[in-house]
Amino acid sequence: MASPALNAAAAVGTAIHTTALSRGAVVAALASLARLPVSAAAARVRQQRRGLLTRKGPPKVVTPDEAVKAVKSGDRVFVHGVAATPATLLAALERRAGELRGVEFCHLHLEKPNPCARVEYADSFFTNNFFIGHNQRRPVAEGIASYVPVFLSEIPALMRRGLVTPDVALINVSPPDHHGYVSLGVEVAAALPAVQTAKTVIAQINPQMPFTAGYSFVHMDCLDYVCHVNEPLPERPTPPPSEVESRIGSVIAGLVSDGATLQMGIGAIPNAVLAGLTGHRNLGIHTEMFEEGVIPLIDAGVITNLEKAYLPGKIVTSFIMGTRRIYDYVHQNHSVAFMDAGVTNNPVIIGSNPKVTAINSAVEVDITGQVCADSVGTRMVSGVGGQVDFERGAALSRGGLPIICLPSTTKSGESRIVPTIRPGGGVITTRPHVHYVVTEWGYAYLFGKNLMQRAKALIAIAHPDHREALERAAFERFNITSWRA
């Protein structure tokens, strides 16, 4: 059973984010939450939280080196993530490595490397990743960094409840508008709660950061230190899909119906799906992130967002990444609403939309439907991210399709449909969460099926070269000699 605290918090979230509820429902939900005991840490965070109407006074305009003098030994430092990585501030902080000890970084994955994350700085800096990007895999393996297993939807709660609250937030923001508001730009997912809860906020004001809409704004007077930079955002072009990826995209596109609400990540498979949707109508997007593959469908009138229940008419996202094309697209574009991950990845909010089609990838899937997505054996390669948030949200959605997709084999030809997850591998999405699994050989529908039925369906979409061995393993596991009719 959910705790009273969780029930009250859920009521508050529903009241705030559901326009149909009355003002009285909002007041009642807030009142119930106010009666609950809170920890001293959470109360302290609540008292110091910064918001749209909070003011502390004009920030100090300084150089990057002067700004990072606010970081002290033992501080927890939030770093603006993904394509918003504040490289200038991180370079300045690296220059203080000799005088700092025990500084902890926390962030989503960074599209630019953190120069402080080196073995020679192990006494000075340590990183706790909420999601492991490619440039943090080696530090994690070397023991100078680690990983915090957490749903993307719950990262804001870690900060707001005083559990992983930053002392300092390093952010990369747009220039202010004529009202004095800067935008958090291309990553709001974790940056907004970090700014709201950090004791000190240091911003690099960057004209190359797009001014994004939604709940992405912070007033200049909420910032403590600012420095001016002109720093290009990192770009990641998506390569064209391979034949296998195109086949997977075609299978998924065939499952998508008109009026569906889409969630998809980055990479060739999501783009292959989008390429197969040109004949669809009234699609919407509610996602944790997207890239430029959606732009042609918006221009063609395929994506209208008109059927969505939550913020109809708008794309909802928490961050983006890609090339300058997508950064320019979201600049001052009020049809794209950036929210923190506590909103975008809330399964109840996700599930309020119709026909949510959640498309997420996996490292491997065992024959009972367990999904490993963050590791290869004991080697960590990514994180939980929003996979479970959206798989669950899609399951709650009327007509929703929770989809896990993967090529049937690795580059070396090993099967990715496996008898058991390899030792040390993490199960990110559990058996009861999994509905559809897609490979280039088709899809398996697992919801409501027993373990034997799941194994038979998954083996049918494994690579033909591996089906016989998988079937033998299944028969041995389930103590049978043939499939039951």
Positions annotated as catalytic residues are 288
Which amino acid is located at 378 in the chain?
T
Closest alpha carbon to 474 in 362, 364, 371, 366: 366
Alpha-carbon distance 431 to 388, whole Å?
11
d(CA 145, CA 126): 5
Give the residue carrying structure tokens 């199960």.
427
Positive/negative CA dihedral, 417, 422, 425, 431: positive
Beta strands in 301-430 (DSSP E): 315-317, 319-320, 336-338, 356-361, 364-366, 371-372, 375-376, 379-380, 401-405, 417-418
Determine the Cα angle at 463 with ends 458 and 465, to 5°: 125
Helices 451-459 + 464-478 axis angle, to 10: 170
- DSSP state for residue 285 in the 8-state scheme: E
Cα-trace Rg, the chain: 23
Query: Which residues are within 8 A (CB) of 299 and not within 5 positions of it... i.e. 6 or more apart?
Result: none
Which has the closest alpha carbon to 386: 397, 374, 400, 396?
A: 374
Identity of residue 163: L
Alpha carbon 408 to its chain's center: 25
Q: Roughly how many angstroms between the first and final C-alpha of the chain, as a whole number?
A: 38
In the three-class reduction of DSSP (H, G, I as helix; E, B as strand; rest coil), residue 141 is classed as helix
Tokens for 240? Answer: 């064209």
